[in-house]
Structure 1
Amino acid sequence: MQLIDIGANLTHDSFDHDRDAVLQRAREAGIAQLVVTGASREHSPLALQLAQQHPGELFATAGVHPHHASEYTAECDAQMRALHEHAEVVAVGECGLDYFRDFSPRPAQRRAFELQLQIAVDTAKPLFLHQRDAHDDFMAMMRQFDGQLGAAVVHCFTGSREELFDYLDQDWHIGITGWLCDERRGLHLRELVKSIPANRLMIETDAPYLLPRTVKPPPSHRRNEPMYLAHIVQELARDRGEDVAVTAANSAATARAFFNLPAKLASETA
Structure 2
Amino acid sequence: MIDSHAHYDDEQFDADRDDIIRKAVEAGVTHIINPGCDVESSRQAILLARKHPEVFAAVGVHPHQAASCDEKTLSGIEALAREEKVVAIGEIGLDYHYDFSPREVQKEWFSKQVALAGKLGLPIIVHDRESHQDVLDIVKAFRSELTTGVFHCFSGSVEMAREVLDMGFYIGIGGSLTFKKARKPVEVVQYAPLDRLLIETDCPYLAPEPYRGRRNWSGYLKHVIERIAAIKGMAYDAVEWQTSDNARALFGLDRFAVTA
TM-score, length basis structure 2: 0.95
Q: How many residues align?
A: 260
Residue 9 (structure 1) shift: 0.5
Which residue matches 2:19? 21
Distance 2:188 2:235 in 1: 18
**Matching residue within 201, 224, 230 for 2:216:** 224
User: What is the CA deviation profile of residues 213-260 of structure 1, one whole-angstrom value per residue up to 9, with x for unaligned ones?
Assistant: x22xx48x7111111011211111111111000000000011001100
Which residue matches 1:237? 229
Distance 2:28 2:215 in 1: 19
Q: What's the secondary structure of 1:119's corresponding residue?
A: helix
User: What is the CA deviation profile of residues 106-164 of structure 1, one whole-angstrom value per residue up to 9, with x for unaligned ones?
Assistant: 11101110110111111000011111111121122112213111111101102112211
Decide whether the 8 Å contact of 1:32 with 1:265 is kept in 2: no
Distance 1:54 1:189 in 2: 32
Distance 1:148 1:20 in 2: 37
Distance 1:146 1:118 in 2: 10
Aligned pairs for 1:1-270 (under 5 A) are: 3-55=1-53, 57-184=54-181, 186-212=182-208, 214-215=209-210, 218=211, 222-262=214-254, 265-266=257-258
Distance 2:255 2:75 in 1: 32
Equivalent position amino acid for 2:138 in 1: M
| 4+ runs deviating over 3 angstroms | 263-266
Residue 192 (structure 1) shift: 2.1
Unaligned runs of 5+ in 2: none
Residue 41 (structure 1) shift: 2.1
Distance 1:192 1:146 in 2: 22
Decide whether the 8 Å contact of 2:176 with 2:206 is kept in 1: yes
Greater Cα offset, 161-170 or 148-157? 161-170
Q: What's the secondary structure of 1:180's corresponding residue?
A: helix
Residue 196 (structure 1) shift: 1.3
Distance 1:235 1:22 in 2: 23
Distance 1:67 1:22 in 2: 27
Q: CA RMSD in A?
A: 1.7
Decide whether the 8 Å contact of 1:256 with 1:263 is kept in 2: no
TM-score, length basis structure 1: 0.92
Decide whether the 8 Å contact of 2:178 with 2:223 is kept in 1: no
Decide whether the 8 Å contact of 2:171 with 2:197 is kept in 1: yes
Decide whether the 8 Å contact of 1:61 with 1:93 is kept in 2: yes
Equivalent position amino acid for 1:189 in 2: P
Residue 48 (structure 1) shift: 0.6
Q: What's the secondary structure of 2:172's corresponding residue?
A: strand
Residue 264 (structure 1) shift: 7.5
Distance 2:22 2:216 in 1: 15
Identity rate, percent: 37
